[in-house]
Amino acid sequence: MTSPHDKRKEVVSSIPKRNLVRAEQVFLTKLKDVTANQVLSILSKRELVKNCDIDRAEMKLIQEEFSEDKLPEWWNPQIEAKFTVLERISLKDAFNYIVFRFKFHHYPRTGQVYDFPQYVLIEPVSSCNLRCPMCFQVDSTFTKKPYMGIMNLNLFKKVINECAAGGTGAITLASRGEPTLHPKLPEMLSYLNGKFFEVKLITNGTRLNEDLCRSIFKNGIDQIVLSIDSEDPEIFESIRYGADFQTVLKNVIMLKSIREREFPNSMTRIRISGVKIIKSQNPTAFKEFWSQYVDEVTMGGAEERWDTYNNQLHPELTDKCLYPWERLYVWFDGTCNPCDVDYKSFLSPGKIGESSIRKIWHSNHFKKLRSDHLSGERGKHNPCDRCQVC
């Protein structure tokens, strides 16, 4: 019988050294019946257009995205679910949400810099209880000081306050570690409540309990994403090394049950997001099994991030990465970074406490990184010179 250790070695050896599969996730669930004309009717309301903070030319671009009764290619189930809720509550919020979503898609692709980062990913904890072979947690030079730590609650609140005041539209709790390891995660969720269009929690699902599940639904978290890659216990445990399949399955069922029983009106979406790294994974069986318990099931290719700094150099890479325009990561100690492929923060433009988020976002360091990407000179930066994620 193959030992778990030998099985993990087999999984590690099967991961392609240059996995060029895009990390964009494929949604395996159907969209609802929102139409482009339905969105356009809100975007065309004079009183809403008059009071928005964008000029006529940009408003016209947004409206054109929904012309000819066709939804734009960036529309997805996450946007659809949120728009459906906001449309019932407030047309103004629905309008502003679509504007936010347009900017989030359009600005990074055209090289426009937001006044303030629209998407911020916050790391409550940098450590993890698992050792998945496609993750940088397998890098023994990373899983020690100064990289390991837990975010102070006061620092968390400072970050959230700056983001809320600056106009951030979306927050994700995740990044390099497992958020549910933070003992004050419920307090963090409570502090986020009602401040942003979208709040997402990403977890491996191993440490969910009834109180945490209730906190997720009570505080209106928009989406909880469970990192699960297979319906087969042996395959699952060989990839999510250190996890027990039956425990995670029980926790997913508990999450669904608490929502149905105690929060029947909850709009929190439950999604399972898998990574395809070995041939024996069966996306169809994966979808069919987990669809019993969640709203969305996705699977994408592994990103080349488990040993970033030793990746092969790729001098042919000249296209700009979207991340320096699209998002900002905040580590447990306040260190900011444009990307979590750079898990040791070689690219860091600054640290909260020493500077504000706004100043970091517009810092000369960040401007230089963006400028080099725009001019085809990303190769000046490690790990941009060896990154196949974008």
The three-state (H, E, C) secondary structure of 303-341, written as one string: CCCCCHHHCCCCCCCCCCCCHHHHCEEECCCCEEECCCC
Look at residue 243 and give its three-state secondary structure: coil
Number of residues assigned to the chain? 390
Mean pLDDT of all residues belonging to the chain: 91
Residue 373: Cβ-neighbour burial (10 angstroms; 0-12, 13-18, 19+):
buried
- In this prediction, residues 245-252 reach a mean pLDDT of 98
Render pLDDT for 38-86 as a digit per residue (tens, 0 to 9): 999 999 999 999 888 888 899 999 999 998 889 999 998 889 989 998 9
Cis ω before 383 (30° cut-off from 0) = yes
State the Cα–Cα distance between residues 126 and 176, nearest whole angstrom: 5
State the Cα–Cα distance between residues 222 and 193, nearest whole angstrom: 10
Asked if residues 199 and 247 have their Cβ atoms less than 8 Å apart, the reply is: no
**What is the percent of the chain with per-residue pLDDT over 90, rounded to a whole number?**
80
The pairing of strands 328-330 and 198-203 is unpaired
pLDDT of 68: 84
In the beta sheet, which residues pair with residue 200?
A: 172, 223
Look at residue 269 and give its three-state secondary structure: strand
List the alpha helices (DSSP H) in the chain. 4-14, 36-43, 46-50, 56-64, 77-89, 91-110, 153-166, 185-192, 210-218, 233-239, 245-262, 283-290, 323-326, 357-361, 364-374
- Neighbouring C-beta atoms of residue 388, cutoff 10 Å: 18
- In this prediction, residues 346-358 reach a mean pLDDT of 97
State the Cα–Cα distance between residues 28 and 26, nearest whole angstrom: 6
Per-state percent for the chain, helix, strand, coil, to nearest 5: 45, 10, 45
Q: Which whole-number Å values give the CA distances from 134 to 217, 222, 236, 313, 355, in the listed order?
A: 30, 27, 13, 19, 33
For the cut 50, the answer to whether the pLDDT of residue 181 exceeds it is yes
State the Cα–Cα distance between residues 239 and 299, nearest whole angstrom: 14
In the beta sheet, which residues pair with residue 271?
A: 225, 296
Render pLDDT for 187-241 as a digit per residue (tens, 0 to 9): 999 999 999 999 999 999 999 999 999 999 999 999 999 999 999 999 999 999 9
pLDDT of 311: 87
State the Cα–Cα distance between residues 60 and 65, nearest whole angstrom: 9
HSE toward the beta carbon, residue 297, CA cutoff 13 A: 20
Q: Which whole-number Å values give the CA distances from 331 to 122, 156, 185, 357, in the listed order?
A: 6, 10, 15, 13
| Range in 80-84, 160-164, 178-182, 303-307 with the lowest mean pLDDT | 303-307
Asked if residues 385 and 314 have their Cβ atoms less than 8 Å apart, the reply is: yes
Cis ω before 146 (30° cut-off from 0) = yes
Render pLDDT for 270-320 as a digit per residue (tens, 0 to 9): 999 999 999 999 999 999 999 999 999 999 888 777 788 988 898 898 999
Look at residue 125 and give its three-state secondary structure: strand
How far does Cα 278 stand from its chain's mean position?
A: 23
Look at residue 273 and give its three-state secondary structure: strand
For the cut 90, the answer to whether the pLDDT of residue 21 exceeds it is no
Look at residue 271 and give its three-state secondary structure: strand
Joined together, the tokens standing for residue 211 give: 């109180």
Q: Which residues contact 173 (CB under 8 A, 6 or more apart)?
A: 121, 122, 123, 124, 179, 185, 188, 189, 199, 200, 201, 202
pLDDT of 33: 81
